[in-house]
A and B are shown apart, each in its own frame.
Chain A
Amino acid sequence: MSRLGLAFRAFLRVLRDPAFAEQVAHPAQGEALPAPPKQPSRSDALTLLSVLQQEARLVDFLKESLSSYDDAQIGATVRDVHRDCGAVLERLFALRPVDSRAEGGEAEVPAGFDASRIRLSGNVTGSPPFRGKLRHAGWEATRCQIPEWSGSEDAARLARPACWVVAPAEVEV
């Protein structure tokens, strides 16, 4: 429909219809727009924690006191937790070194380098380029795929919302 035609029809209707005239004078803010997509009702941090617990038992591991076990016993546990945590990190973040050069080797820092990717330490004076040793290759995520929480709104409104549960209690019947 042409906007000119629409303008005329609106004009006529404002004259005839007081309620419509009121709506035109004071449009209700955003009412006609579709509701924006709901934000997940749970923090991504909790979801990540929950994944690390479910797949790698990380929370169980960190919450247990190490004082009563010898290193061999702890070591046996760590191998599994380490393997499974590593798999989660790889799947969700695909971490790669920021700097592909070998650690401990000579490293040149060019002029105009990105300070968020390279952190300088030691005797930092003058202006780049700098020469130095690569002490740490850094890490960067090449993706970020935290699972999405799809829990119900009702559950989130309960006194003790489901979204706060990192791992449910388990009862075998």
Chain B
Amino acid sequence: MSARFSVGIDLGTTNSVIACVPLDQERAKVELVPIPQLTAPSTVEARDFLPSFLYLGTEAEAAAGHFDAGGKKKAAHAVGAFAQRQAAEVPARTIASAKSWLCDSRVDRRQPILPWGAPAEVLKMSPVEASRRYLEQLAAAWKAANPKAPLAQQEVVLTLPASFDASARELTREAALEAGLPEGVVLLEEPQAALYAWLAEMGDRWRQHLKPGDRLLVCDVGGGTTDLTLIDVAEEDGQLMLKRVAVGNHTLVGGDNMDLAMAHFAAAAFAKKGVTLDPWQSVALWHSCRVAKEAMLNENGPAKHAVTVLGRGSKMIGGTVSVELEREAVAKLLLDGFFPACALEDAPERRRAPGFKEIGLPFETDTAITRHIAAFLSAQGGEKGPMRPTHVLFNGGVFKAAALRERLLEVIGGWFGGRKTVKVLEGVHDLDFSVAKGAAYYGAVKKGKGVRIRGGTARSYYVGIETAGPAIPGAVRPVRALCVVPFGMEEGTEADVPGDEIGLAVGEPAHFRFFSSAVRKTDAAGALLSTWKEEELSETDSMEAQLPRAKGQKDAYVPVRFHVRITELGVLELSCAGTASGERWKLEFSVRRDAEKA
């Protein structure tokens, strides 16, 4: 049976969304799929968002049927709005930001490590499994809404951060397949999806707003992460085309940091009144602060806004305290804290890591998004000087506050000669849902007409090769990096990596260190680097291949060359081929696979 819908899934760090569009209708509108979820114990409600939180309940709660939903009995955990609420009150039992763990190659992402630092009696989950649970919930929502169109038979597009490297992409895909998404699930970068949503809204009119030579900065500030992408507008055979030319690194700073900063600020005001807040009240405060932020930081926003914390317990009115926040102070806190004026040459501050650091998510020490953008534009431009965007496309609920949008444009414009030198991309910016909607739209236009963003791989990839030569005691053998995937290698293509043969041991797994770079764009496949700047290449999971020893084979080594393929679905496949035998062995990410799968 052929697909009837294109389904877009935004598996977010803090919120997930699913949208769809029927394939058999011209100009059909992209619609959100309601997501039934636990909003309180034993209470199921459909919402447009699925908060990406997972609460691992106590045995008593499970036995009382608190997490039962959709016919499941004695379920042990809850996903969604209820879990998000629990995150503040019972943090040790709640998984948050599983997605940020998914791209953290310092930990084994198939091992049950979440919630990070949870006590021993909590049955932990791996980042992959938590992601799978979120996707299962979204798949169940699809099934409830469209019982006659199984998800596995639809055209499904799953979005991920542009900054995800090959191994994080593969882990996401693994979670997706385990959750029942079709084998042919397409992976799409979130900032591109946001632009597709804009294209879907604009229809053919988009050509009136962009011209050849324009360069678009997609600035996607989610709950916990900031994702940057540059897309160029070019002309080819008289047609306008879009090409993704650069993506930023994974930056762990987002809207939640701003709400948290404001809540801290307000909590200090409460402390002056002698009020200390418990966790429940802190959540309420966080919520009130977000409302106040959006009200105050808009054009003609009030100069003052009361933030109230209701009394705990059933004596509510008596315990209610409010403080007045001033627009000026809040604007200063958020604008200077997150969008400070800075020079294009500025780099994010990297405070020296303390000698003893508890391992956890690598949160940014510098919350200045403008400095991260400056560093991104400078690094991407390389020797030709910083890349200059002509337009900005905003994404993420943070940008509902007009003052933040305006400040960002001011700072970026200021780098290139004034505020007027950069424009907001005109048209509808659906800040909350555009990624899922754009993904659904992409699935629909992918096969037919409609403009597509080209780009290929967002990174170049390298295999680390130890140099031959005598070992020097105490010194690490220098490693050279062989470029196996050049930047921008297109989906649906494959190539042999030219260069010298490499000898691989047979009968035992051969390990390779694996690196990627978002800034080295000119390295061709086969290029061998002996030196590079530390920040240029980042190491990801190692790869391995096991070559069986053929019968009667005497040599312990076989000469091989690398072969690389990027599938239409955006999956990177690396293999090595024996130059003599022509046999091929696939290289796998050697993330340990012994993690228990529940």
Question: Using a CB–CB distance below 8 Å, which chain A residues touch chain B?
Answer: 47, 50-51, 54, 57, 60-61, 63-64, 66, 68-69, 73-74, 76-77, 79-81, 83, 145, 147-152, 154-155, 162, 168, 170, 172
Contacts and interface: CB of A to CB of B under 8 A. Distances in A.
A172 B322 contact: no
Contact of A147 (B39, B291, B306): B39
Given A47-B43, A51-B40, A152 B317 contact: no
A79 B43 contact: no
Interface stretch (B64-72, B422-430, B450-458, B511-519): B64-72
Contacts of A68: 318
Instruction: List 7 A-B pairs, minimum CB-CB distance, nearest first.
Output: A152-B65, A151-B42, A147-B45, A60-B316, A77-B320, A148-B44, A76-B322
Query: Would you call the interface of chain B mostly helix, strand, loop, or mixed?
Result: mixed
Contacts of A151: 41-42, 65-66, 68
A76 B270 CA distance: 14
12 contacts: A50-B43, A57-B316, A60-B314, A63-B314, A68-B318, A77-B310, A77-B320, A83-B291, A147-B39, A150-B70, A151-B65, A152-B65
Interface residues of B, number: 33
B308 interface: yes
Contacts of A170: 280
A51 B317 contact: no
B46 to A, nearest CB: 7
A69 B64 contact: no
Nearest to B320: A77
Nearest to B42: A151
A69 B44 contact: no
B49 to A, nearest CB: 12
B316 A77 contact: yes
B69 A150 contact: yes
Interface of B: 36, 38-46, 64-66, 68-70, 73, 278, 280, 288, 291, 306, 308, 310-311, 314-318, 320-322
Nearest to A154: B65
A147 B42 CA distance: 10
Contacts of B65: 150-152, 154-155, 162
Contacts of B44: 147-150
B387 to A, nearest CB: 42
A60 to B, nearest CB: 4
A149 to B, nearest CB: 6
Contacts of B306: 76, 79
B64 A80 contact: no
A77 B69 contact: no
A54 B314 CA distance: 12
A149 B43 contact: yes
Contacts of B69: 150
A57 B291 CA distance: 18
A54 B598 CA distance: 33
Given A80-B308, A154-B65, A155-B64, A148 B320 contact: no
Contacts of A172: 278
Contact of A76 (B70, B73, B315, B320): B320
B316 A61 contact: yes
A30 to B, nearest CB: 22
Contacts of B45: 51, 145, 147-148
A77 B39 CA distance: 24
Contact of A57 (B68, B70, B310, B322): B310
B40 A64 contact: no
Given A162-B64, A172-B278, A150 B42 contact: yes
B31 to A, nearest CB: 15
Nearest to B43: A147
B403 to A, nearest CB: 22
A155 B43 CA distance: 14
Contacts of A47: 43
A66 B73 contact: no
A69 B43 contact: no
Nearest to A81: B310
A149 B69 CA distance: 9
Contacts of A149: 42-44
Given A83-B291, A148-B45, A151-B65, A69 B40 contact: no
Contacts of B321: 76
A147 B65 CA distance: 16
Given A74-B317, A148-B45, 5 more contacts: A51-B40, A64-B317, A80-B310, A147-B40, A168-B41
Nearest to B317: A77
A37 to B, nearest CB: 10
Contacts of B64: 152, 155, 162
A172 B288 CA distance: 23
Nearest to A63: B314
B310 A66 contact: no
